[in-house]
Amino acid sequence: MAPVNVSSDGIGIAHLPNQKHKIITNRGANYTIMLCGESGSGKSTFINTLFTTSIKDYKEPSKRHEKQLGRTVEIEITKAELEEKSFKVKLNVIDTPGFGDYVNNYDSWSPIIEFLDDQHESYMRQEQQPSRNGIIDMRVHACLYFIRPSGHGLKPLDIEIMKRLGSRVNLIPIIAKADTLTPKDLATFKQRIRDVIKAQNIQIYSSPVDSEDEEVTHRNQSILDAMPFSVIGSTELVHTADGRQVKGRAYSWGVAEVENEQHCDFKKLRNLLIRSHMLDLISTTEDNHYENYRQREMANRKFGESKAKKYDNPKHREKEDALRKVFTEQVRQEENRFRQWEQQLITERDRLNKDLESQHAQIKALEGELEQLYHYHQQGRGSIKR
C-alpha cells in the first residue's frame, strides 16, 4: 500500500510517539540481568559499580567457604527499583553462587538452565490465563558470563555452559579483573576467547550497528569490537597522580580507572546494557529467545500440558539422596530388629517344645508306673480270692 501524504498542518498522527513515550514512562520497564561465573570473580562489585549503588551485598570469604560445603549451585534473586528523570526500572539481578567452585563441576549448569527455561514457561503460562493483568515477568534479558583472567583461554566448563546459555539468553562474555593483565596479554586473551567462541559455534549477543547517525554507528561498532568486554570493578574513589578523583583501584605503579577506556571496556559495556541497547536486549528476549521457546514447547506438547522435567536440580537430588539414605538406614534397623525378635520367638518356641517333650515324657513315665501299680493291685486281689 502506497503512503498517503497529508497537509503540512497534519492530522495528528505525528503525536503518537509522544503518547507512546508517556505510556512507557508511566509504566516503567522490567529489566533482568543474570550474573554467571565462579565465586570471587567480582560479580557483586561489578553490578554495584554499574548502577553506582549497593544493589548486591558482598559475600564474606568464610561464609562463601561454608556455602561451598553444600556442593550445589543456587539461584539468588535481588530486586531493586531504579529511577532516573521520572522513568522507573524494576531491576532483577540473578546470581549463581556455587557455580564452577568445585573439583567436579559436571552438570553444575543444570539449575541455571532450568531457571532460564522456567521463566519462559512461567510467562507463557500466565499469557494463557483468561486474565493477564499483573503478569510477573522474570525472563532474563542479559546474561553476563564472567571469565577469570587466566590468559590461557576458555576452560571446558566455560565452553559447555556458554553453548547452553547462548541458545536461551543474550549472552555477554566478560573478562573479570582486567587490571591483573597487561594490555598486551589482555589483547591476546581476548583474541583467544574470540577464536574459541567462533570455533565452538557459541552464540553470543550481537548488538545492532547500523544507524541513521554516523556517530551512533561508529559507537555501536566500537562496542561490538570490544566483545568480550574487559572490566575493572570498584566502588571506591581514589586519587590519580594528576589530582583527579576517580573510581578505580590504586596500585604502587598507578591507578587502574574504571571509566578509562584505555584501561578497560567498562564504559562500553555500560552503554550496551543501560544506554544504547537496553531496548534491543529486551526486544531480542521477547521476539527471539522467548518465541523460540514458546514455538518449541507448543509444537511438542498439548495445550495446557505441563512442561516435561529435563533437568535434575543437584540441590534437590542431594536432598533426595540424603533422605533415601536415612530411609534405607531406618529400614535396615527395622529389619535387624525384626530378625532379633524372630530369633527370640524361635528360641522361645524351641524352649517350649523341649518343655512339652519333657512333660510328655514325665506323663508317659507316670502312666507306665500307674499301669504297673494297677497290674500289681489286680494280681494281689486274685491271690486273696484263691
pLDDT single digits (tens) 279-333? 899 999 999 999 999 888 888 776 656 666 655 555 566 777 788 888 888 888 8
Q: How far apart are CA 154 and CA 173, in angstroms?
A: 11
Name 99's Cβ contacts closer than 8 Å, sequence gap at least 6.
36, 37, 38, 73, 105, 108, 109, 112, 161
CA distance 180 to 232: 9
Using CA atoms, how far apart are residues 268 and 191, in angstroms rounded to an integer?
Answer: 18
- pTM tops 0.95, yes or no: no
Alpha carbon distance 256, 230 (integer Å): 12
Of 1-5, 176-180, 305-309, 327-331, the least confident: 1-5
DSSP H helices, the chain, are 16-27, 43-50, 61-68, 110-127, 156-166, 183-199, 214-225, 266-270, 278-284, 291-300, 314-385
Q: Which helix (H) or strand (E) holds 144?
A: strand 142-147
Where in the chain are the domains? 22-311, 313-386
Given this structure, which CATH class describes domain 22-311? Answer: alpha beta
| pLDDT for the residue numbered 174 | 92
pLDDT tens-digit readout, 52-67: 777 766 565 555 445 4
Q: How far is CA 82 from CA 27, 30, 55, 252, in A?
A: 13, 10, 10, 36
Distance separating alpha carbons of residues 200 and 135, to the nearest angstrom: 37
| Residue keyed to cell 543474570 | 34
**52 in Cβ contact with 233 (< 8 Å):** no
Order of strands across the sheet that contains 229-230: 76-84, 87-95, 29-36, 142-147, 171-175, 229-230
pLDDT attached to residue 65: 47
For residue 255, how many other CB atoms are within 10 A of its CB? 21
> Could you read off the pLDDT of 119-170 as tens digits, one per residue?
999 998 888 888 878 888 899 999 999 988 877 778 888 898 899 999 999 9
Q: How far apart are CA 13 and CA 92, in angstroms?
A: 36
Q: How far is CA 175 from CA 100, 102, 188, in A?
A: 16, 21, 12
State the helix-helix crossing angle for 291-300 and 110-127, rounded to 10 degrees: 80
Backbone φ and ψ for 88, nearest 5 degrees, come out as -105, 140
Rg of the chain (C-alpha set): 38
305 conformational bin, left if phi > 0, alpha if psi -120 to 50, beta if neither = beta
Return the higher-pLDDT residue of 48 and 378.
48
